[in-house]
Amino acid sequence: MEEIVVTGMGVVSSLGHTPAELWANLLAGKSGVATIDRFDVENYAVKFAGQIRNFDPSPYYNERDAARTSRNIQYAVHAADTALKMAGIDSSAIDVRRAGVMIGSGMGGMEVYYDNAVILDTKGPRRVSPFFVPMTIANMAAGEVGIRNGWMGPNWAPMSACATSNHSIMTAVDQMRLGRADVMIAGGCEEAVCKIGVAGFAAMKALSTRNDNPQAASRPFDKDRDGFVISEGAGVLVLETLSHALKRGAKIYARIAGYGASCDGYHMSAPREDGEGVVGAIRMACAEARISVTDVTYVNTHGTSTPRGDVAECGAIYKAFDGKVDNLKINSTKSMTGHALGAASGVEAIATIMSLVDQKVHQTLNLDNQEPEIKLDCVAGGPVSHKIEYAMSNSFGFGGHNSSVIFGRA
C-alpha cells in the first residue's frame, strides 16, 4: 500500500489566510476572537466570534460573480489555490483524470440559506435568488475547486459536522490507496458566523457568553470554561502518493501515517462519559499506522472549551494511552481560532503539520486554572519545543462522529 504525503496546505482563518500567518500567530499566542461586526448583535445573547476579516475574493471572482457565490465556497477556493501554489502543482503538468477533491462542510451555504428564507417570507418566491441552490448545497465547494482546476478525478463532499475535514482527509487517502487518484485536495470550509448560525448555537447553550472579554472566552481545559466560540473559514491539504510527489520533486511536509473513525452511539450532541468511542478511534489510528500509542507525543485535540466535552476527550486520551502520558503534550488550536465547525480539523491539520515541521507545540490560550480532572500536559503559558515523530489531530462531530488522524514526520 503506497504511502500518502502532504505537499501543500491552504487556509482561511480568524488568525490569517496563509499557513505561515496562521502558524506565526498561534506561536505568538494571539486570539482571532472579537466582537462581531458583520451584523447587528445588540439583541444576541452571544456577540462575538472568530469572524473572518480582511478576506479578499477578487483574485478569484469579479464583483458580480462574488455576489453569486457563498463565502463558504470562496474560502475553499482561496485555501485550495494557496495549497496548490505551495505544492507547486500546475494542472497542465499532471493527469487531471487522476486528480480529485474532497472538501466538505458542516453547514454549507448557511448564510445564503437564511437570507433567501427571509426574502421568500417577506418578498415572495419570485425574489429568491436563482443562485440560491448552487450557493447553498454543501458539495459545491468541492465542485467549484474541481471546476476551476479542471480536475476530473474523485470529487464529493463528506459531511459529518465538526469532524468533516478529518473525514475528508481520510476519504481522499482511501481513494488514493485504492488506486483511483494520484493527487487530492482535501479538507473543509464553513461560513457559520451569520445571524442564524450564532443564534442557533446560542439557543443550544453551547456557546460561551463571555461578551465582556471575547478573547478570553475560548478556554479549553480551564475550570472556568463556559462553552465554545463559533468561528469559520477553510483548511485544506494537498495529498499525493509518494511516488507522484517524488517524481515531480515535491517538498514533503508530512505523511499520513494512519487514521481511525468511530461513533459514540450515545447522544446527538453530548459525548460518552466513558470515552470508549474516542478511545476506539485513537487505537484504530495507531493500529493502522503500525505504531504504539505512546509513539504519538503530541495531540491537537478537539478541545472546544465545553464543560463536558473537554473532560470526556482528555479522559479518553488518558485511557487510550493507558495512563502513559509523561511524554505527551496536548493543546487546543480553538483556544485562539475559535471553533470553525466543518473547517476546524482542516485548519488544525495545518497546525499539527507545522508542529511536526518546527518541532514546536503552540500553547493553549486562556488556560489559567486547569480542570483538576484533566491529567495531561495542556501546554499553558507559551509554546514549547518538543520531539515529535507522530502527531495526532482529533475531531468530533454532533451525532457522535469521532475521528483521529495521525501525521508522521516527513
Question: Catalytic residue positions?
Answer: 162, 302, 339
Query: Which residue has cell 468533516?
Result: 164
Grid cell locating 132: 440560491
The whole-angstrom separation of Cα 92 and Cα 233 is 28
Whose CA is closest to 110, among 189, 49, 196, 51? 196
| Neighbouring residues of 394: CB distance < 8 A, sequence distance ≥ 6 | 278, 281, 282, 299, 300, 301, 302, 313, 317, 402, 403, 404
- Enumerate the H helices of 213-343 as residue ranges: 242-247, 276-289, 307-320, 334-337
Q: How many CB atoms lie within 10 A of CB 105?
A: 33
Q: How many CB atoms lie within 10 A of CB 288?
A: 15
The whole-angstrom separation of Cα 46 and Cα 243 is 49
Grid cell locating 30: 494571539
Q: Provide the b/e sequence for 45-70 (b: ≥16 CB within 10 Å).
A: ebbbbbbbeeeebeebbeeeeeeebb
Q: How many CB atoms lie within 10 A of CB 20?
A: 12
Cβ–Cβ < 8 Å for 188, 101? no
The alpha carbon dihedral of 74, 7, 26, 322 has a sign of: positive
According to DSSP, the β-strands at 34-35 and 48-49 are: antiparallel
Residue 62's φ and ψ, nearest 5 degrees, are -75, 175
The whole-angstrom separation of Cα 219 and Cα 79 is 27
| Neighbouring residues of 326: CB distance < 8 A, sequence distance ≥ 6 | none
